[in-house]
Amino acid sequence: MANQIILSIILSAIAGLVGYYLGSYFRKKSGLTETLIKDIDSESAVLKERIMSVRNHTMRLTELAILKKRVDEFDGDSAVIDKSINRLEEILNTLELAIKSDNEKWADLLLTRFSKHLRQLLHEGASSRIEIDETCDHLESSLSLLSAMNQNTWAYEINTDRLNGFDKGRTIKSMSITPWVLETLWDCTKTSTISKTVNLEIISDTYEVLFLLKVNGKTYERKEEI
């Protein structure tokens, strides 16, 4: 009888230990499952972000096609404009590479700045003339985009100290200055050879606006009638 009691106690203890370890095992399994679900959810979120980026990328392609159509109808400096459009296509290729890479911060930055720049070009291309003040905003976006292509390894400054306040509301020819800046800085941007800071000074007088673009010790200038 005593042996049966001892055996019962031993079996109960063993059963308890087995139950404990089985419980621990299944809790771990449950924890692993929860972790796996969280990992899947996390991967799903990343995938959704990538899909949205690709979707935005596709939308930009559509907008680019619209811009090309407007440029074809636009009476302006077609050679410079055509080059700038080709540059935008190359930026899209860079954006696609950024989206496919692990550098999501760079991809997001490039996508945001490209989208803003493209919207402004679409707006500018819709009319024959644009206010100087608005041109300054577009130039800021252009320089910001080019800097983003080089992952912000260089800065830029736009100096309007010699731009008369009453001239800001006056107009110049649309689709002239922004493509010029893009084209002037393109080679340096593609080869990542811009040193430190790009300076753009805007000077106005009664009849014209002078744009002085300084990069790597060189100065480029362009004038537009107002």
* Inter-residue contact 213 to 198 (CB < 8 Å): yes
Task: Decide: residue 76, CB within 10 A, 0-12 exposed, 13-18 middle, 19+ buried.
Answer: middle
Tokens of 132: 């100087």
The DSSP secondary-structure symbol of 128 reads S
* Inter-residue contact 168 to 132 (CB < 8 Å): yes
- Return the exposure string of 126-160: e unless at least 16 CB atoms fall within 10 Å of the residue's CB, then b: eeeebebebbbebbbbbbbbbbbbeeeebebeeeb
Task: Decide: residue 16, CB within 10 A, 0-12 exposed, 13-18 middle, 19+ buried.
Answer: exposed
Q: What is the mean pLDDT of the chain?
A: 77
Alpha-carbon distance values, 135 to 60, 174, 180 (Å): 21, 9, 12
The DSSP secondary-structure symbol of 174 reads T
Beta carbons within 10 angstroms of residue 29's beta carbon: 10
**What pLDDT digit, counting tens, does each position of 71-84 carry?**
665 555 566 667 77
Quick one: how far is CA 190 from the chain centroid?
A: 16
Beta carbons within 10 angstroms of residue 56's beta carbon: 16
Among 28-32, 128-132, 134-138, 208-212, name the one with the lowest average pLDDT. 28-32
Whether 6 maps to a domain, the answer reads no
Sign of CA dihedral 102, 105, 108, 111: negative
Whether 2 maps to a domain, the answer reads no
**What pLDDT digit, counting tens, does each position of 195-206 carry?**
899 999 999 998
**What pLDDT digit, counting tens, does each position of 81-121 carry?**
677 778 888 888 888 888 888 788 888 898 889 888 888 88
Q: Once rounded to an integer, what is the mean pLDDT over residues 118-146?
A: 91
Whether 57 maps to a domain, the answer reads yes
Confidence band of 49 (pLDDT split at 50, 70, 90): low
pLDDT for 89 equals: 81
pLDDT for 18 equals: 37
Whether 8 maps to a domain, the answer reads no
Tell which wins on pLDDT, 10 or 188: 188
Confidence band of 34 (pLDDT split at 50, 70, 90): low
Whether 3 maps to a domain, the answer reads no
| pLDDT at 65 exceeding the cut of 60 | yes
| pLDDT at 125 exceeding the cut of 80 | no
| pLDDT at 182 exceeding the cut of 80 | yes
Please tell me the pTM assigned to this model: 0.68
pLDDT for 157 equals: 97
Whether 187 maps to a domain, the answer reads yes
pLDDT for 93 equals: 85
Backbone angles phi, psi at 103, to 5 degrees: -90, 75
The type of residue at 131 is E
φ/ψ bin of 3: left (φ > 0), alpha (ψ from -120 to 50), beta (otherwise): alpha
Range of the domain at 71: 14-225
Whether 9 maps to a domain, the answer reads no
pLDDT for 13 equals: 38
pLDDT for 131 equals: 96
Q: Once rounded to an integer, what is the mean pLDDT over residues 165-186?
A: 92
Whether 5 maps to a domain, the answer reads no
| Number of domains comprising the chain | 1
